[in-house]
Amino acid sequence: MDRSKLIKWLKEPMKMSNKYSLHVVYFCTGCGIIEIPPSITARWDAERFGVKPVATPRQANLFLITGYVSLKTLKPIIRTYEQMPEPKYTVSLGSCPIDGGMYWDSYNTINHLDKYIPVDGYIAGCMPRPEAIFAGVTHLWTMIDKGMADGYVKYRENYEQYRSNQEEIYADLGWPPLFGVSNQDEQ
C-alpha cells in the first residue's frame, strides 16, 4: 500500500474502501456493451482499478449505463438503480444518455437520462474506448474524495421531482415510491 495514503485510510476508511472497490453492474442498453468485455478481461484488466463486475445490483455500487436509453429500458434502469445499496454512483457511457446523441429525434429514445435518475459522470464518445472508461473511473475517485459524487443524496432529497418525471413517462410505474413512505413513519 502507498504509505502516503495511510492517513487518508485512517481518517476516512469508508470512503477509501468504497472508491477502491467499485463493484459494477453493467446495464447493456446499447452499443456500449461491446467495450465492456475488453475492459474487464486481460487486455485492459479493470481489476487493476478495483472495478469488478458483479451479478446483481444488490451487490453493486457503480452503475454503468452503456448506450442509448429507450423507453422500454428506462424502467429496468430505474428499478436497478433503486435496488442498489448506498453509496451508489452512476456513470453513463457515450453521447446518447447525455442529450440523445444520434437518436435525438427518435420517438422511442429518452433524450436526457439525468431527468429520471441522477448521473454522477458522463464519459463522452461514440463509443468511448476502454482507456476512457478508466479515465472516468479515476476521475470518479477524485469526485468521491471531494464528496462531489453525491447523486444518491440528491436522489433522496429530490425524490419527488424524479418520481414525477418517471411517472410522466410511465403512467403505471408498477411499484410504490422508494422514499416518502418510510420517512413518514420516522417522523
Partner 1 sequence: MNNKITELIESSFRDVDVELIEEDRVRVNVKQESLLTLLNFLKENRYSHLALISCVDRIEENFFELIYIVSPYMQQDESYTEREKVNVILKTKLPRENAQIGTAIEIFGAAEPYERELHEMFGIEFIGHPRLTPLFLEREYDIPPLRKDFDTRAYVEEKFGSIPPVED
Q: Does 118 bind partner 1 (CB under 8 A)?
A: yes
Q: Does 168 bind partner 1 (CB under 8 A)?
A: yes
63 φ, ψ (degrees, to nearest 5): -115, 110
Q: Does 76 bind partner 1 (CB under 8 A)?
A: no
123 - beta bridge partners? Answer: 93
26 - beta bridge partners? Answer: 64
Is 19 or 163 the residue whose CB approaches partner 1 more closely? Answer: 163
Cα–Cα distance for residue pair 125/94, rounded to 1 Å: 5
Instruction: Map grid coordinates 464518445 to a residue.
Output: 125
Q: Does 114 bind partner 1 (CB under 8 A)?
A: yes
Q: How far is the CB of 112 from partner 1 (least distance, A)?
A: 7
| Spatial strand order in the sheet of 121-123 | 52-53, 23-27, 62-66, 89-93, 121-123
Q: How far is the CB of 36 from partner 1 (least distance, A)?
A: 25
64 φ, ψ (degrees, to nearest 5): -100, 120
Cα–Cα distance for residue pair 79/181, rounded to 1 Å: 17
Site string for partner 1, 122-161 (x = CB under 8 A): --------------------------------x--xx--x
Site string for partner 1, 54-73 (x = CB under 8 A): -----------------xx-
Cα–Cα distance for residue pair 60/141, rounded to 1 Å: 16
Residues that bind partner 1 (CB under 8 A): 71-72, 75, 104-108, 110-112, 114-115, 118, 154, 157-158, 161-162, 165, 168-171
